[in-house]
Amino acid sequence: MSDPSNPSIAHLAGARPPATDWSSDELARALAAASEWAVGYRERVAEFPVLPHVVPGETRALLAQSPPREPESFESVLADFDQIVVPRLTHWNHPGFLAYFSSAARGPSVVAELLIAAVGVNAMLWRTSPAATELELVVTDWLRQAVGLPPCFRGVILDTASSSSFAAMLAARERAGENVRVDGVGGAGTVPLTTYVSDQAHSSIQKAAIAAGLGLASVRRIASGPRFRMDVHALDRALAEDVASGAHPMLIAATLGTTSTASMDPVGAIADIAEEYDTWLHVDAAYAGSAAMVPEAREPFRGWERADSIVINPHKWLGTSLDCSVLLFRDPDPFREALSLMPEYLKPEPGDGTNLMEFGLPLGRRFRALKLWVLFRCVGTHGLIDMLRNHMGMAADFAARIEADDRFELAAPVQFSTVCFRVRTGPGHEAPDEDTLNRRVLGRVNRMGRVFLSHTELDRRYTIRLSIGSVYTRGDDIDAALLSLGEAADAELAGVRRSR
Ligand code: PLP
């Protein structure tokens, strides 16, 4: 209630409260318009170029530079979204999106996002949303079961794999027992804490070391062998050397499904070393973890059940929208010890359930569990396995056709739905510079607009990379990728021949 003795708000006393939101009718009309738009967009998404033809600043120049003073109709906002914003987006749900690791939302996840926004809960504490908390515990356990991990793992959902791996690193740091929580990294009696990854690991582990105050120099990048898998002998030597020089090996992060080639570190042998040195084993399976749902693809995961923590991103290869990263771990205590801090106003009541904010950096937590729950229920594990198999089948087909085409060569063993390859410069059309040739071919392909592929570097060579993750991608799109690549390679190889 306003205080009439307070002059700054006295004028509000007795004033009619302004409408603070749309009426139910207005909301219903806007939702109907938005859902009609969403259905139409998803029907015509393949008609857009995957990558927009835009220059920096173009979108910004088309947008109002200051906020409107008066309300505008939702129809006019939707029209601007449709005409200004959407044509200038990169279309992640396009069937020809074959770059990076996909993040394409299946229908059930799209609808779940609406429900999440409608209830708008913050699942930071059990008390602030009991059902959201318990749904999160249930649905992460569904994922655990689906990928064949034992019941000793429990899970939480964070925004991204970067956050999940960061939380795991903080838990590992806590378990290393250097009391960093209280004393900080430079505190009395602390010894250097070291982390081990392969040279193919995602940069998020190094970034976690920066953010954790441990520094990039604390991360040992272990050479990978010929199949881009961590060399366990080199790992063993690195730990032995570090121990001999007084360091404390804190964390080994094995990658199952590396970013460049989806290679699989030998996690069983790595688990032996982690056990020997009593080092935390984290498994980054952000992309490939979903593939463990497929029985015939599970073998290379053997040993991951010995990890202390594992991250799997359903937003990478299971069809939830960004963001949905599941962090599975055995022992909740190191996470609590590293990350739990309860100011008075958040203190749980006796008898409350699990408070999920204790397992990550942010306090506020979106109701992400709902989209994974809706997805599992509306697609079923059989449907999800079919999608994963279909993607792996299309990738195998693409790889076989690349291998059979003398303009191209495979650059790495094919894993799951990811294929790395190069345009050949061999006899007949030797380019002065193989990297430039491949960069130009990729540029041409992406400018054509039918598919979007990305690149990486393998053995210091520029490499083109295709990865399938969208439920909309079909054989036609793989044909289109091959056609675009063939045309681009022919054009560039002709150019190479002319320039010699
Ligand atoms: N781990 C791996 C293996 C990745 O490939 C990626 C991103 O592609 C990440 C972690 C980071 O994922 P996020 O964007 O969820 O932080």
Nearest atom of ligand 1 to the alpha carbon of 323: 15
Domain presence at residue 238: yes
Rounded distance from Cα 286 to ligand 1 centre (Å): 6
Instruction: Extract the tokens encoding 167.
Output: 């939380």
In this structure, which residue's CA is closest to atom 14 in ligand 1? 160
Residue 24 has a pLDDT of 93
* Cβ atoms of residues 425 and 441 within 8 Å: no
Domain presence at residue 345: yes
What does the alpha-carbon distance between residue 180 and residue 174 come to, in Å, rounded to a whole number? 7
Rounded distance from Cα 289 to ligand 1 centre (Å): 12
Nearest atom of ligand 1 to the alpha carbon of 325: 15
Rounded distance from Cα 207 to ligand 1 centre (Å): 12
In this structure, which residue's CA is closest to atom 9 in ligand 1? 161
Q: Does 63 share its domain with 164?
A: no
CA angle (426, 432, 437) in 5-degree steps: 75
Q: Does 293 share its domain with 192?
A: yes
What are the pLDDT digits (tens) for 124-162?
A: 999 999 999 999 999 999 999 999 999 999 999 999 999
E strand or H helix at 423? strand 418-423
Residues 6+ apart with CB under 8 A from 312: 143, 147, 285, 286, 289, 290, 325, 326, 328
Rounded distance from Cα 202 to ligand 1 centre (Å): 6
Alpha-carbon separation of residue 321 from 102, 144, 316, 473 (angstroms) = 10, 19, 8, 16
Instruction: Extract the tokens encoding 486.
Output: 């063939």
Q: Does 52 share its domain with 144?
A: no
* Cβ atoms of residues 286 and 253 within 8 Å: no
Nearest atom of ligand 1 to the alpha carbon of 255: 3
Residue 185 has a pLDDT of 79
What does the alpha-carbon distance between residue 65 and residue 85 come to, in Å, rounded to a whole number? 15
Average confidence (pLDDT) over 472-490:
96
Strands 219-222 and 193-198: parallel
Tell me what the pLDDT averaged over the chain comes to: 93
User: Comparing C-alpha atoms, which of 232, 292, 281, 224 is closest to residue 258?
Assistant: 224
Domain that holds residue 29: 24-89
Domain presence at residue 453: yes
Average confidence (pLDDT) over 342-363:
93
Mutate to test the pocket of ligand 1, among 100, 162, 267, 323 (most ligand atoms within 8 A of CB): 162
Rounded distance from Cα 122 to ligand 1 centre (Å): 25
Place of tokens 């989806």: 262
Nearest atom of ligand 1 to the alpha carbon of 285: 3
Q: Does 228 share its domain with 324?
A: yes
Average confidence (pLDDT) over 90-109:
95
Q: Does 348 share its domain with 436?
A: no
Q: Does 448 share its domain with 385?
A: yes
What does the alpha-carbon distance between residue 105 and residue 387 come to, in Å, rounded to a whole number? 13
The single-letter DSSP state of residue 57 is T
Question: What percentage of the chain's residues is helix, strand, coil (to nearest 5)?
Answer: 50, 15, 40
Q: 497 falls in which pLDDT band (50, 70, 90)?
A: low
pLDDT at 2 exceeding the cut of 50: no
Phi, psi (5° rounding) for residue 166? -65, -45
Q: 178 falls in which pLDDT band (50, 70, 90)?
A: confident
What are the pLDDT digits (tens) for 229-239?
A: 999 999 999 99
H runs (alpha helix) in 45-179: 58-62, 74-80, 107-119, 130-146, 161-175
* Cβ atoms of residues 117 and 109 within 8 Å: no
Q: Does 28 share its domain with 68?
A: yes
H runs (alpha helix) in 296-412: 314-317, 332-339, 369-404
Among the three residues 366, 392, 413, which one is the final residue of a domain in this structure? 366
pLDDT at 499 exceeding the cut of 70: no
* Cβ atoms of residues 195 and 218 within 8 Å: yes
Q: Does 397 share its domain with 467?
A: yes
pLDDT at 1 exceeding the cut of 60: no
What does the alpha-carbon distance between residue 442 and residue 492 come to, in Å, rounded to a whole number? 10
Average confidence (pLDDT) over 23-32:
95
Rounded distance from Cα 163 to ligand 1 centre (Å): 10
Q: Fill in the amino acid letter for 26.
A: E
Domain presence at residue 11: no
Q: Does 197 share its domain with 239?
A: yes
Mutate to test the pocket of ligand 1, among 103, 165, 204 (most ligand atoms within 8 A of CB): 204
| Better-predicted residue by pLDDT, 497 or 200 | 200
Read off the CATH number of the domain in which 33 is found.
Answer: 1.20.1340.10
Residue 498 has a pLDDT of 61
E strand or H helix at 282? strand 280-284
Rounded distance from Cα 12 to ligand 1 centre (Å): 51
What does the alpha-carbon distance between residue 395 and residue 257 come to, in Å, rounded to a whole number? 15
Domain presence at residue 323: yes
Domain presence at residue 18: no
Residue 4 has a pLDDT of 52
* Cβ atoms of residues 268 and 303 within 8 Å: yes
Q: 20 falls in which pLDDT band (50, 70, 90)?
A: confident
What does the alpha-carbon distance between residue 112 and residue 250 come to, in Å, rounded to a whole number? 39
Q: Fill in the amino acid letter for 15.
A: A
Rounded distance from Cα 160 to ligand 1 centre (Å): 7
Nearest atom of ligand 1 to the alpha carbon of 322: 15
Nearest atom of ligand 1 to the alpha carbon of 159: 15
Nearest atom of ligand 1 to the alpha carbon of 165: 10
Q: Does 348 share its domain with 303?
A: yes
Q: 393 falls in which pLDDT band (50, 70, 90)?
A: very high
Q: Does 85 share its domain with 131?
A: no
Q: Fill in the amino acid letter for 281.
A: L
| Whole-prediction pTM | 0.94
Rounded distance from Cα 100 to ligand 1 centre (Å): 10
Percent of the chain with pLDDT over 90: 88
What are the pLDDT digits (tens) for 67-95?
A: 999 999 999 999 999 999 999 999 999 99
In this structure, which residue's CA is closest to atom 5 in ligand 1? 259
Residue 190 has a pLDDT of 73
Strands 408-410 and 309-312: unpaired
Read off the CATH number of the domain in which 283 is found.
Answer: 3.40.640.10
Residue 431 has a pLDDT of 60
Place of tokens 């749900």: 93
Average confidence (pLDDT) over 349-355:
93
Nearest atom of ligand 1 to the alpha carbon of 201: 3
* Cis omega (within 30 of 0) for bond into 323: yes
Q: Does 312 share its domain with 275?
A: yes
Read off the CATH number of the domain in which 484 is found.
Answer: 3.90.1150.10
In this structure, which residue's CA is closest to atom 4 in ligand 1? 259
Domain presence at residue 234: yes
Residue 182 has a pLDDT of 85
Residue 183 has a pLDDT of 83
Q: How many Cα atoms occupy the beta-carbon half-sphere of 424 within 13 Å?
A: 13
pLDDT at 41 exceeding the cut of 50: yes
Number of domains in the chain: 3
Place of tokens 């700054």: 8
Nearest atom of ligand 1 to the alpha carbon of 100: 8
Q: 425 falls in which pLDDT band (50, 70, 90)?
A: confident
Q: 430 falls in which pLDDT band (50, 70, 90)?
A: low
Among the three residues 333, 366, 399, which one is the final residue of a domain in this structure? 366
Nearest atom of ligand 1 to the alpha carbon of 162: 16
Among the three residues 345, 366, 387, which one is the final residue of a domain in this structure? 366
pLDDT at 57 exceeding the cut of 80: yes
Rounded distance from Cα 137 to ligand 1 centre (Å): 23
Percent of the chain with pLDDT over 70: 93
Mutate to test the pocket of ligand 1, among 160, 199, 202 (most ligand atoms within 8 A of CB): 202
| Better-predicted residue by pLDDT, 185 or 325 | 325
Ligand 1 neighbours (beta carbon < 6 A): 101, 160-162, 202, 204, 255, 257-259, 284, 286-287, 313, 325
Average confidence (pLDDT) over 295-324:
97
User: Comparing C-alpha atoms, which of 489, 479, 473 is closest to residue 98?
Assistant: 473
Rounded distance from Cα 125 to ligand 1 centre (Å): 27
Alpha-carbon separation of residue 312 from 34, 46, 234, 278 (angstroms) = 31, 28, 26, 24
Rounded distance from Cα 245 to ligand 1 centre (Å): 32
Domain presence at residue 38: yes
Residue 406 has a pLDDT of 92
